[in-house]
């Protein structure tokens, strides 16, 4: 025994500890006390250990058990590191990042310690929030964004298909932009800033966007080479005035592009102009105005609840473009958080799906932190782009899951059966948090008598 202990110490990096183990038992009556002690003795005997009563040493035992840092019990044993570690079965994985920008994500369900994390510390800050309806997805997103606004100076943008974020946004002095054919809030799709795009040619990237938009307008097989050339020729002309004198009144609008296309010699110019007429002079002309909303606020919410089917694709494209605008403006100076609720809707349609994947791939380098929120894991997982999205996501907040989804996710994210308990029939605001390689079960019981709760709840009777 001594030889093997010596070899442990010399070769296996073990240390020697002097250990005293004292347990304290409480009970209401003497009888109950005797019962539990008998129980404990029989369990430990079964495992070849002996439990001794501290007869005539009860006081010293009590003093040693209290967290005072004194040991008055003389019984000591020498144990190696690994043998000592056996007596601490309560170790849990913690997530606590001590940084000025850390945000609160609830309590660790095992240890009850605070979970504080900073997504910017991740290799890839992109995030997903998954859970069944009513499991607290939007609530978690709101809690994170409220925290981010109070703690950091990051900008926050929300894409809100249910029109449920406006109370919170207004309270934090943010701007709610209703995007719909009837709305009087205008967004100009031709808005450009000098930082737009990847390099030093903002117009090149803007031209890409305008082409994708016109592709949606003409539909079918998209733009022909001749049409693309004509558009490419027109764009520098309509931006010329703004580039010479960049004041808001000089920003071109769709009508300018329409007129310019009409005045081209080729027939394709007139054809394109006719095709976009409904968006300039017709009933869908909501995007033919200069922006009249304050896009410089720290908190922006695009409410697309009333965006009809006719405008859905173009509307989403215009919003994504405004998000890029903001991210490029903030690049290098601050982060931009972008929340997309009902994310699976965007992934259904190839055009918006490819735009979303673009965000997932490139946002990080620009200081962007996107978060997709969805109840529909199956839709999400069947989308063609899902591999690109999962591979680039290091933050997953997983709330209660439907049984089918749970199995798929368990395989995909390697969740152990024990961990699955935390996302099976769990209450609102409880689940698993994946943060890089760390997985912690969390509980967040948000106090209901607070102003924030009233602004964040979606239960109809409470929201009223
Ligand atoms: N952390 C929490 N603490 C206390 N209550 C919560 C918490 N999270 C959610 N809830 C309660 O659950 C309700 C539903 O939450 P939430 O609106 O986030 O659901 P959801 O998952 O977004 O559902 P849907 O998929 O239908 O949009 C909230 O209105 C709130 O009352
Ligand atoms: Mg929701």
Distance between CA atoms of residues 453 and 333, nearest Å: 32
Q: Which ranges in 50-103 belong to alpha helices (H)?
A: 58-65, 81-85
CB 263 within 8 A of CB 294: no
- Relative orientation angle of helices 309-330 and 202-218, to the nearest 10 degrees: 170
If you take atom 30 of ligand 1, which residue's CA is the nearest one?
457
One domain, residues 81 and 151: no
The closest-lying atom of ligand 1 relative to the alpha carbon of residue 399 is 21
- Asked if 21 and 135 sit in the same domain, the reply is no
3-class secondary structure, 92: coil
Ligand 1 atom with the smallest distance to the CA of 430 is 1
Ligand closest to Cα of 376 equals 1
Q: In ligand 1, which atom is closest to the CA atom of 137?
A: 21
Distance 138 CA to ligand 2 centre (A): 4
Domain C-terminal end among 85, 116, 150? 85
The span from the CA of 120 to the CA of 259, in Å, is 45
Q: Using CA positions, which residue lies closest to atom 26 of ligand 1?
A: 133
| Pair 248, 100 in one domain | no
In sequence order, the β-bridge partners of residue 230 are none
Q: Which residues surround ligand 2, an ion (CB under 5 A)?
A: 138
What is the pLDDT tens value at each position of the chain, 464 positions in all?
889 889 988 888 889 999 999 999 989 999 999 999 999 999 999 989 899 999 999 999 999 999 898 999 988 888 888 888 877 766 678 899 998 899 999 999 988 899 999 999 999 999 999 999 999 999 999 999 999 999 999 999 999 998 999 999 999 999 999 999 888 999 999 998 776 666 567 888 888 889 988 988 888 778 899 999 999 999 999 999 998 888 889 999 999 999 999 999 989 999 999 999 999 999 889 999 999 999 999 999 999 999 888 888 888 889 988 998 899 889 889 999 999 998 887 887 777 788 788 889 888 888 999 999 998 888 788 777 778 888 889 999 999 999 888 988 898 888 998 899 999 999 999 999 999 999 999 999 999 999 999 999 998 888 77
Burial class (CB in 10 A: 0-12, 13-18, 19+), 90: exposed
Both tokens assigned to 382 = 């069947």
Residue appearing with tokens 């209290």: 66
Count of alpha carbons within 13 Å of 174, Cβ hemisphere only? 26
In a shared domain, residues 232 and 336: no
Which residue stretches of 116-266 are H helix? 137-151, 166-171, 202-218, 225-244, 254-262
Do residues 347 and 398 both lie within one domain? yes
Same domain, 170 and 318: yes
- Residues with C-beta less than 6 Å from any ligand 1 atom: 131, 133-139, 375, 428-429, 444-446, 457-459
- Say how far apart CA 104 and CA 444 lie, in whole Å: 10
- Whether residues 300 and 160 share a domain: the answer is yes
Taking the C-alpha atoms of residue 398 and residue 12, their distance in angstroms, rounded to an integer, is 39
For 328, phi then psi, to 5°, come to -70, -35
Distance 314 CA to ligand 2 centre (A): 23
Going from the Cα of 417 to the center of ligand 2, the distance in angstroms, rounded, reads 27
| Residue 273, number of CB atoms within 10 A of its CB | 18
Q: Do 81 and 113 sit in the same domain of this protein?
A: no
Q: At which of 27, 60, 85 does a domain end?
A: 85
Rounded Cα gap, residues 262 and 285, in angstroms: 18
The sign of the dihedral angle between the CA atoms of 311, 313, 316, 319 is: negative
Asked which of 49, 65, 85 is the last residue of a domain, the reply is 85
Question: How distant is the alpha carbon of residue 46 from its chain centre?
Answer: 49
Domain that holds residue 267: 188-290
**Cα 9 to ligand 1 centre (Å):** 53
Does 120 share its domain with 137?
yes
158 & 256 share domain: no
| Integer angstrom CA distances of residue 385 from 101, 158, 215, 306, 406 | 31, 22, 21, 27, 20
| 153 and 285 together in one domain | no
Domain count, the chain: 3
d(CA 121, CA 127): 13
If asked whether residues 322 and 459 sit together in one domain, one would say: yes
Q: At 146, which CATH number? A: 3.40.50.300
């Amino acid at each position: 025994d001594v030889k093997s202990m010596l070899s442990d110490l010399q070769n296996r990096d073990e240390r020697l500890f002097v250990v005293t183990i004292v347990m304290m038992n409480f009970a209401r009556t003497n009888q109950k006390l005797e019962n539990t002690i008998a129980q404990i003795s029989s369990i430990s005997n079964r495992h070849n250990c002996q439990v001794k009563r501290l007869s005539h040493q009860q006081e010293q035992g009590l003093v040693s058990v209290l967290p005072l840092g004194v040991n008055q019990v003389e019984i000591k044993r020498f144990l190696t590191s690994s043998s000592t570690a056996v007596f601490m079965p309560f170790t849990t994985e913690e997530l606590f990042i001590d940084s000025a920008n850390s945000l609160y994500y609830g309590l660790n369900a095992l240890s009850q310690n605070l979970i504080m994390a900073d997504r910017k510390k991740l290799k890839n800050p992109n995030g997903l929030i998954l859970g069944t309806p009513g499991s607290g997805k939007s609530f978690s997103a709101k809690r994170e964004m409220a925290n981010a606004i109070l703690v950091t100076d990051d900008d926050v943008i929300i894409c809100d298909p249910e029109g449920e974020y406006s109370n919170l946004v207004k309270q934090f002095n943010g701007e709610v932009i209703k995007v719909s054919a009837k709305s009087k809030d205008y967004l100009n799709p031709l808005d450009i800033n000098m930082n737009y795009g990847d390099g030093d040619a903002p117009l090149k990237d803007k031209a890409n966007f305008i082409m994708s938009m016109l592709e949606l307008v003409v539909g079918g097989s998209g733009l022909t080479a001749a049409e693309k050339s004509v558009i490419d020729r027109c764009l520098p002309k309509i931006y010329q005035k703004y580039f010479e004198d960049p004041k808001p009144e000089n920003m071109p609008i769709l009508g300018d592009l329409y007129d310019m296309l009409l005045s081209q010699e080729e027939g394709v110019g007139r054809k394109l102009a006719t095709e976009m007429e409904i968006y300039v002079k017709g009933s869908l002309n909501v995007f033919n105005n200069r922006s009249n909303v304050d896009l410089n606020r720290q908190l922006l919410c695009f409410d697309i609840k009333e965006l009809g089917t006719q405008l859905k694709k173009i509307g989403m494209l215009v919003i994504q473009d405004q998000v890029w605008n903001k991210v490029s403006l903030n690049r290098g100076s601050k982060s931009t958080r972008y929340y997309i609720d009902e994310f699976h809707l965007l992934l259904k349609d190839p055009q918006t799906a490819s735009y979303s994947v673009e965000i997932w791939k490139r946002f990080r380098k620009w200081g962007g932190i996107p978060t997709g929120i969805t109840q529909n894991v199956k839709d999400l997982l069947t989308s063609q782009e899902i591999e690109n999205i999962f591979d680039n996501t290091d933050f997953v907040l997983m709330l209660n899951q439907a049984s089918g989804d749970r199995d798929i996710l368990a395989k995909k994210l390697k969740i152990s059966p024990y961990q699955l308990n935390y996302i099976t029939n769990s209450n609102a605001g409880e689940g698993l948090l994946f943060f890089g390689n760390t997985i912690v079960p969390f509980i967040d019981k948000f106090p209901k008598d607070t102003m924030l709760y009233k602004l964040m709840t979606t239960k109809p009777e409470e929201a009223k």
